[in-house]
Amino acid sequence: MFDVVLYEKRGKVALITLNRPERLNAWTTDLGSAYWDCIDEATADPDVRVIVVTGAGKGFCAGADMDLLQGIGAGTERSAPARDEHQTYTTTVPKPVIGAINGACAGLGMVQAMMFDVRFAAAGAKFTTAFGRRGLVAEYGISWMLPRIVGHANAMDLLLSARIVLAEEAKEMGLVNKVFPADRLLEETMAYANDIADNVASTSIRSMKQQVMAGWEWDLATSNTDTHERMQHSLRQADFKEGVQSFLDKRPPEFSPVSSRD
C-alpha cells in the first residue's frame, strides 16, 4: 500500500503530488481525503508560503476513478469518506495554489485544476471536461468557474463538446497561464513559486485572493469600498513598512507568515 497523495516541503514551498500513476491519478474518496489533509497541512504551516500541486507519472488527474463511477451507477453502497469537502475548498486557501499539470486532466481533475490560482501545463497535456460524454452535468462548481477563466464562448465549447484540447490551445483560451516542455514543467513551476515565496507578502496574497473571489459577485462600487478599507488596513501593518524599507535597503523582504483562512 502506498500513499495516494505525497507531501513534501521544499523550503517555503509545499509540493503535493497525486500519486496513483497506474490510474493516471484518478480521484477516489481516499485520494480526496488525503489531498484535503495535505492542503490543510500546508495552510497551517507558517513556513509554507506557496503550494504546488502536480501528478505522478504521465497524468495529472484523469477524473473520478471508473470503478467508483461504476459503483455509483450500479447503486453500490459506498463507505463515507474520511473527509468530504466541496471541490471548491482549494479556493479558500489563503496561500497561492499553483498547478503543475503534467498530463491528462479530465472531469474531476479539470475541476480541481480550475480551482488553482495559477496553472502551468506540460506541452501536449490533454484537457477535457468529459462530463457530457458520461451522461453527467457540469459538476462541482466548474459551470461557475470556467466562464470566468476562459470566457462564456470558450466555456460553452469545452462543456458542450467535452472535446480534448491540448495544452497549447488551452493557453490560447486562457485555461492555463504557461506551457513548458514536460521535462522542465516542475522546475519552472517551482521557480515561479519560490519567487512568490521570497518576494511577495503572504498577507497581501491572502487579501488579494479574497478580493478576487468576492469581487466576481460585486459591482464596481462595492469592490472599491472593500478595496479602500483593505488598503487603509494594510498601510498600518508591518508588512507594508517592511516592503518599503527592504526596497530602499536593496535587500530581500522579511514578510510575516500566514497560517489561517481568516
Instruction: Provide the number of structural domains found in the chain.
Output: 2
Residues 6+ apart with CB under 8 A from 175: 119, 127, 149, 150, 154, 158, 165
Query: Pairing state of beta strands 104-106 and 50-55?
Result: unpaired
| Same domain, residue pair 229 and 166 | no
Rounded mean pLDDT, 110-122:
96
Q: What is the DSSP letter of 235?
A: T
| Same domain, residue pair 84 and 214 | no
Q: Does a structural domain hold residue 17?
A: yes
Condensed to tens digits (0 to 9), the pLDDT of residues 47-69 reads 999 999 999 999 999 988 766 55
| Same domain, residue pair 163 and 214 | no
| Same domain, residue pair 84 and 168 | yes
Position 77 pLDDT exceeds 60: no
So what's the pLDDT on residue 78? 52
Condensed to tens digits (0 to 9), the pLDDT of residues 218-240 reads 888 988 888 888 888 888 889 88
So what's the pLDDT on residue 218? 84
Instruction: Tell which of 181, 197, 213 closes a domain.
Output: 197
Q: Place 131 in a pLDDT band, splitting at 50, 70 and 90.
A: confident
Q: Which position has the grid cell 510575516? A: 256
Position 29 pLDDT exceeds 60: yes
Position 6 pLDDT exceeds 90: yes
Q: Which position has the grid cell 486532466? A: 105
| Same domain, residue pair 103 and 226 | no
Q: Place 12 in a pLDDT band, splitting at 50, 70 and 90.
A: very high
| Same domain, residue pair 184 and 59 | yes
Q: Does a structural domain hold residue 37?
A: yes
Instruction: Tell which of 157, 180, 197 closes a domain.
Output: 197
Cα–Cα distance, 94 to 85 (Å, whole number): 17
| Same domain, residue pair 93 and 173 | yes
| Same domain, residue pair 85 and 121 | yes
Cell representation of residue 113 = 485544476
| Same domain, residue pair 216 and 190 | no
Q: Does a structural domain hold residue 255?
A: no
Position 159 pLDDT exceeds 90: yes
Position 106 pLDDT exceeds 50: yes
Q: Does a structural domain hold residue 220?
A: yes
Burial of 219 (0-12, 13-18, 19+ CB in 10 A): exposed
Higher-pLDDT residue of 19, 78: 19
Position 84 pLDDT exceeds 70: no
Q: Domain range for residue 58?
A: 5-197
